[in-house]
Amino acid sequence: MLSPNALALGKPFKCSAQLDKTFARTGIAQVYFAGSLSSMAQDVALDHQGRVLVAAKVGTAKGSRFGLARLLADGSADLGFGDQGSVIGTFAGGFEASGGKVSVLADGNILLAGLHYESAHHTLPALARFDPQGRPDLTFGDNGRQVVRLPGHLSVGRRDTWLPPGVPGAEACAFAVQEDASILLIANHQFELADHVGMLIRLKPDGRLDETFNGRGFVMVRHLLLNTWLSTLLLQEDGRIVVGGSIDFPQEGLLARYLPDGRLDERFAVDGFMAFKADGKSTQVSQVVESSGNLHCFGSSRDPIRCMTFNVHGNGRPDLHSHQGLAQRLEIGPSGCQWSAAQRMTDGRMIAVGATIGGVEADFIVARYLHNGGLDHGFGDGNGWLRTRLGRSLDTANSVALQADGAILVGGFSLDGNYRAMVARYLNP
């Protein structure tokens, strides 16, 4: 029997046969945050027992909060977690917040990253750590929570109140945990209206700034003195650090790589950086996945907005065997589409998730790619992708996790009066 904290929805308005109907009865679960007015899932992850963790931005009567919920494998709420299945909070008293990414640590504790809203216009990266029951881990930061402040206010970013939900902007949130439990995370700093720089930061396991990293605890990421935005972070198996995003305006997709100690890896691409467009169109990288020795970029192009993929060798050079070394653009629907997240399968294939764009036409999209970067036409009724409409208005998928049996968990939100955090599960034949 499903608990009331994860609501089974009625039959989707438009639904692909690949939805797993054993999950929350319809394949789609609404994630419930007690006392909330709205919620938007931003990330999904699995714990060591296969339970589903959901990081969210939650709207309350007192403003925006971070949300962390846990579902059982069947899509019902885990009522033993937090307060009846969820935790809602802020990173500092008296301020608003949002949740962005979540990961389960080797010891079973849960690390949540998000944004601390310092004011109506400014943000700071922040983290919170919880035990497996959803209680604050008081050994981390300030009573379990840590707002990351750098010298010179370099971790202060802009709050993107004007951007529609699901459209990439400056409010980036990504982190990775190194083998020694140190925490890498990204931020974007705005010096002036048209002067942005990305920040790569390392914290000690307890949340304090690790000043041994690059000699001061952080790296300013900027290419050719151009405006630079970071959207994603990848910790490679050998310990090197790849960041992705965009530079300049109109934007070009950006990759850069750093050594484990924070020094730029000048052997990567050209002096550590690689920038690219897609068919002459502006691009943005939302996720980088490492598979079969290559780096696979997923994101979007502009004018018009389209799903974008681009493959480079491990040294940062374009893979000439994949679309002749050029970025690929995929059209799904007349209003545009974008990839927001991706994850590698155990066999090297990759799952990408995102959304079509445009009011009632905004739907979840999921695709499977081969290790060479081409669409896997054994997925999605021969297209390589599938599209699912959850409700009567805007639906946006922005996160993905793969279960042990290969099933695909997709997190996001649906707008039907208010935003509602959603998790869907797809079969992965």
3-state helix, strand, coil in the chain (%, to 5): 5, 50, 45
Of 7, 124, 21, 115, nearest to 69 by C-alpha is 7
Give one DSSP letter per residue of 26-56, joined into a string.
TSEEEEP-TT-SEEEEEEEEE-TTSPEEEEE
Q: What's the token pair of residue 290?
A: 């490492």
Q: What's the token pair of residue 271?
A: 């002096």
Check: pTM over 0.85? Answer yes or no: yes
Distance CA 93, CA 424 (A): 33
Q: Which residues contact 12 (CB under 8 A, 6 or more apart)?
A: 19, 26, 27, 28, 388, 389, 390, 391
The pLDDT value given to residue 416: 84
Strands 86-89, 96-104: pairing kind: unpaired
pLDDT in tens, the chain (429 residues): 334 344 444 444 344 448 999 999 999 999 999 999 999 999 999 999 999 999 999 999 999 999 999 999 999 999 999 999 999 999 999 999 999 999 999 999 999 999 999 999 999 999 999 999 999 999 999 999 999 999 999 999 999 877 777 777 778 899 999 999 999 999 999 887 778 999 999 999 999 999 999 999 999 999 998 999 999 999 999 999 999 999 998 999 999 999 999 999 999 999 999 999 999 999 999 999 999 999 999 999 998 899 999 999 999 999 999 999 999 999 998 889 999 999 999 999 999 999 999 878 899 999 999 999 999 999 998 999 999 999 888 999 999 999 999 999 999 999 988 999 999 999 998
The pLDDT value given to residue 411: 98
Distance CA 139, CA 142 (A): 8
